Amino acid sequence: MDYANRQSTVVWIASDHGGFDGKAVALDHIQSLGYDVKDLGTYSKDSVDYPDFAKAVARKILENPDHCGVLLCGTGIGISIAANRFKGIRAALCTSEAHAKMARKHNDANIIVMGGRTTSPELIRQMLSTWFSTTFEQGRHIRRIEKIDQEE
């Protein structure tokens, strides 16, 4: 899916308590880019379980393949593992603009994941801008993506 030229795309966003502050930064920035953002929680810094939020976003994207997602937890590791349990979800944990670019360009990631406690607000904004402005290269990458969802 090409999010770069589809600002009507709905963006589902969620975090656990560790990603709460980063989620606020991400939500504001994505809205400033013109996207329709739907916040699935959490809505406070009270301790919650990140798999619940990964599942909520993954399910929304599987129901609406034209949509994409943003997830945050403390480091991004746990929530990305939980999201990637779903066939058809490609949640990429990004720690740099280069990661964000390649997650879209080569992997057609439909969820970008970041660490709320490990990523500065400025880097969150930079990675989101890059991720949303990068298009999927397709070509040889399509067969690789198809292999991800093949049953073993």
The catalytic residue positions are 106
Q: List, in sequence order, every residue forming a beta bridge with 49; answer none if it has no partner.
A: none
End-to-end CA distance of the chain: 25
CA separation, residue 25 to residues 76, 128, 150 (Å): 15, 10, 36
Residues 6+ apart with CB under 8 A from 101: 130, 131, 134
What's the CA gap between 26 and 51, in Å, rounded? 19
